[in-house]
């Protein structure tokens, strides 16, 4: 079967087939910058967009699973099917990537292990934007290696949605119950759409008894979003989300002693954002957001009186952005305030404040040369004042060919876990660590013509005061420290094409490759590092779709080589058929060749897994 997969790949590669929406629709969308809203075709940065059509064809049911097919994204799963995963971009750590929801920061100041604990069902997602490289001048702190922005859909009609599935690897839990490992879920949703206001609500329940000892999980989500257009100059979006995620944490943080650990994470999100066109030239966009998170980590799940950590954290943020259209170019100004608090049994009680100011100017210096320059000025109550400038530019060589270059800076404020955690014998924090600072320069080109696209980039990034968890011997706990400086040279490229075979047939393929060469400087080699050994060296991702009428067969291949782990090749498959009455049925086969692999620590991930699902989509 592996030979068949490789033949399909090379045949598809020879004709450069690609998803229609991935090539055509992307050229029309705009990236949700905080101030200067720019069409993707005119962006000067390395940006990748996963649109709704592509999401629907991937063998995935969660945002986490979709992101594992994204070029340059390193998704390190601990729990299966989106129950727990760390995410990073281009060789950075899991706390150096900023997560956004419709442009609003979803920052987990306790620990970025919970950054992807989002209440957003996949059906509510319109697209996912991945912006690579330091971006403080646009998005503020914690965007050292890039930004991932989840953009939800706007309802266009009234209707209902239902989705249920059942999956298994046909193996039994021989260490515990003897039951066959399975997972199942049910997702429900509804839209109510009028001319001036639209509403959507989703609820979902996902459950599984694991894929090895103590890996069972249960995930419940609730999400509401309301869109209000008061007139052609004033609009408002309000959203509320809640997710409760519980999972067996065998080997997650302190292997092998945590074999019987369990974790429960509850997250509540509430956001308000509006847009106001004050004059023909001047627009204003204020935002408010609140995030509450409860993290209950039980080192011994059967003994709640020993080694149990409970973390209660909340944050409230306010942001206001403004754009003014000049005769030549645009000016963007913004300000933000963020208050973060935590009350924890193992971190104690802490509060800090963050204030930031943005300024940007974008203009066409000539008919072919576009430049965007700006800065972010930040005050943090713990780390004082910092300034982070950045610049990007593009030169249009021909109608379909553009050269781009950018240079940017950013910082990552240590989490409360980095600073104050006392979770002996596993991990302890360090209140003396400094914030991480990054500088990156990048250049490359983009080529787009009809159904064909090709881009390639080279970058150099320097992160000073890199934070890692280190120890001298296995008898000691891991402790956070500024573990030297990380210098990374990287190259990434992506090619995509679509080919129409006629008779309602399409064959489509995309392929991306990323190479990373990270080197640590000014480090003490006597220490063992917890996270630096996990970064990628080579990443190859290929998707191939064949469509015949209303039936689609999608094949997704992932090849990863990490700095200190063995290489692995994962192949996933989805067969989907659409009926005329909005009914879909699909079959997913994940890890077809039953590869044994791990992405975080020594945690083996699921073997071959088959899932059958049914969807009714009337929205």
pLDDT tens digits, 58-90 = 999 999 999 999 988 998 888 777 778 889 999
Report all structural domains of the chain as residue ranges with CATH numbers, in order of start: 2-617 (2.40.170.20)
Percent over 70 (pLDDT), the chain:
93
Select from 271, 258, 276 the least CA-distant residue to 215.
258
Q: Identify the pLDDT of residue 406.
A: 94
Which has more pLDDT, 42 or 397? 397
Half-sphere exposure of 538 (CA within 13 A, CB side): 10
Q: Which residues pair with residue 352 across a beta bridge?
A: 340
Percent over 90 (pLDDT), the chain:
71
- Would you place residue 22 in the very low, low, confident or very high pLDDT band (cuts 50, 70, 90)? very low
- Would you place residue 26 in the very low, low, confident or very high pLDDT band (cuts 50, 70, 90)? very low
pLDDT tens-digit readout, 448-496: 988 899 999 999 999 999 998 889 888 888 899 998 899 999 999 999 9
Q: Identify the pLDDT of residue 517.
A: 93
Q: Identify the pLDDT of residue 472.
A: 87
- Would you place residue 30 in the very low, low, confident or very high pLDDT band (cuts 50, 70, 90)? low
pLDDT at 418 exceeding the cut of 60:
yes
pLDDT at 131 exceeding the cut of 80:
yes
**Rounded mean pLDDT of the chain?**
89
How much is the average pLDDT of 141-151? 92
Q: Please give the backbone phi and psi of residue 355, each rounded to the nearest 5 degrees, phi first.
A: -125, 135
How much is the average pLDDT of 26-41? 59
- Would you place residue 11 in the very low, low, confident or very high pLDDT band (cuts 50, 70, 90)? very low
pTM: predicted TM-score of the whole model, two decimal places? 0.91
Helix-, strand-, coil-residue percentages of the chain, each rounded to 5: 10, 60, 30
Cα–Cα distances (Å) from 348 to 110, 342, 343, in that order, read: 11, 7, 6
Q: What is the CA radius of gyration of the chain?
A: 24
Select from 51, 132, 138 the least CA-distant residue to 492.
132
d(CA 329, CA 161) in angstroms, rounded, equals 44
Q: Identify the pLDDT of residue 173.
A: 92
pLDDT at 520 exceeding the cut of 70:
yes
Dump strand ranges (E) for 535-603.
536-548, 551-562, 568-578, 583-590
How much is the average pLDDT of 510-524? 91
Range with the poorest average pLDDT among 36-45, 180-189, 264-273, 499-508: 36-45
Report the b/e string of 166-202 with b at 16+ CB within 10 A.
Answer: ebbbeeebeeeeeeebbbbbebbbbbebeeeebbbbb
d(CA 298, CA 260) in angstroms, rounded, equals 9
How many residues does the structure list for the chain? Answer: 619
How much is the average pLDDT of 7-13? 37
Which has more pLDDT, 6 or 528? 528
pLDDT at 425 exceeding the cut of 70:
yes
How much is the average pLDDT of 145-152? 93
564 burial via Cβ count (<10 Å: 0-12, 13-18, 19+)? exposed
How much is the average pLDDT of 609-618? 96
Strands 330-344 and 308-325: antiparallel
Q: Identify the pLDDT of residue 84.
A: 83
d(CA 172, CA 169) in angstroms, rounded, equals 9
HEC sequence for 509-535: EEEEEEEEEEEEECCCCCCEECCHHHC
- Would you place residue 330 in the very low, low, confident or very high pLDDT band (cuts 50, 70, 90)? very high
d(CA 78, CA 60) in angstroms, rounded, equals 17
């Amino acid at each position: 079967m592996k030979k068949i997969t490789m033949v399909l790949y090379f045949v598809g590669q020879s004709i450069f087939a690609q998803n229609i929406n991935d090539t055509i629709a992307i050229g029309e969308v705009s990236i949700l910058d905080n101030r200067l809203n720019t069409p993707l075709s005119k962006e000067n940065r390395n940006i990748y967009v996963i649109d709704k059509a592509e999401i629907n064809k991937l063998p995935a049911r969660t945002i986490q699973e979709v992101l594992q097919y994204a070029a340059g994204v390193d998704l390190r799963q601990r729990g299966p099917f989106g129950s727990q995963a760390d995410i990073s971009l281009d060789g950075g750590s899991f706390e150096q990537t900023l997560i956004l929801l419709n442009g609003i920061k979803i920052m987990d100041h306790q620990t970025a292990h919970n950054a992807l604990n989002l209440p957003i069902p996949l059906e509510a997602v319109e697209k996912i934007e991945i912006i690579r490289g330091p971006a403080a001048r646009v998005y503020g702190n914690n965007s050292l290696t890039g930004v991932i922005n989840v953009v939800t859909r706007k309802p266009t009609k009234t209707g209902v949605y239902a989705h249920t599935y059942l999956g298994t690897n046909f193996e039994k839990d021989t260490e515990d119950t003897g039951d066959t490992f399975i997972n199942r879920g049910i997702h429900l949703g509804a839209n109510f759409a009028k001319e001036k206001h639209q509403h959507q609500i989703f609820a979902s329940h996902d459950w599984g008894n694991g894929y090895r000892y103590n890996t069972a999980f249960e995930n419940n989500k609730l999400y509401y979003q309301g869109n209000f257009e008061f007139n052609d100059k004033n609009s408002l979006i309000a959203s509320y989300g809640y997710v409760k995620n519980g999972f067996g944490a065998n080997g997650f943080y302190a292997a092998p002693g945590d074999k019987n650990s369990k974790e429960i994470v509850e997250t509540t999100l509430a956001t308000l954002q509006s847009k106001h066109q004050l004059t023909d030239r001047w627009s204003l966009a204020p935002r408010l957001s609140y995030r509450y998170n409860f993290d209950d980590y039980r080192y011994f799940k059967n003994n709640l009186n020993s080694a149990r950590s409970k973390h209660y954290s909340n944050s409230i943020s306010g942001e206001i952005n403004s754009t003014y259209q000049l005769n030549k170019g645009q000016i963007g100004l913004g300000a933000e305030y963020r208050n973060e608090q935590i009350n924890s049994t193992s971190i104690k009680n802490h509060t800090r404040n963050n204030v930031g100011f943005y300024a940007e100017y974008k203009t066409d210096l000539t008919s072919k040369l576009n430049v965007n320059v700006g800065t972010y000025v930040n005050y943090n109550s713990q780390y004082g004042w910092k300034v982070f400038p950045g610049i990007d530019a593009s030169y249009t060589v021909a109608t379909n060919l553009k050269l781009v270059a950018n240079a940017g800076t950013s910082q990552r404020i240590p989490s409360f876990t980095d600073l104050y955690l006392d979770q002996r014998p596993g991990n302890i924090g360090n209140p003396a660590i400094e914030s991480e600072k990054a500088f990156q320069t990048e250049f490359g080109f983009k080529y787009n013509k009809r159904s064909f696209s090709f881009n390639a980039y080279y970058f150099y990034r320097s992160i000073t005061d890199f934070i890692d968890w280190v120890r001298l011997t296995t008898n000691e706990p891991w402790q956070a420290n500024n573990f030297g400086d990380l210098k990374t040279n990287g190259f990434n490229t992506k090619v995509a094409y679509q080919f129409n075979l006629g008779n309602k047939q399409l064959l489509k393929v995309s392929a991306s490759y990323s190479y990373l060469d990270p080197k640590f400087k000014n480090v003490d080699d006597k220490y063992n590092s917890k996270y630096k050994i996990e970064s990628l060296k080579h990443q190859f991702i290929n998707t191939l779709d064949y469509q015949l009428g209303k039936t689609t067969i999608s094949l997704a291949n992932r090849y990863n080589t990490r700095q200190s782990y063995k290489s692995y090749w994962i192949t996933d498959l989805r067969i989907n058929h659409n009926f005329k009455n909005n009914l879909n049925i699909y079959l997913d086969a994940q890890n077809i060749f039953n590869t044994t692999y791990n992405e975080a620590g020594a945690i083996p991930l699921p073997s071959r897994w088959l899932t059958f699902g049914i969807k009714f989509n009337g929205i």
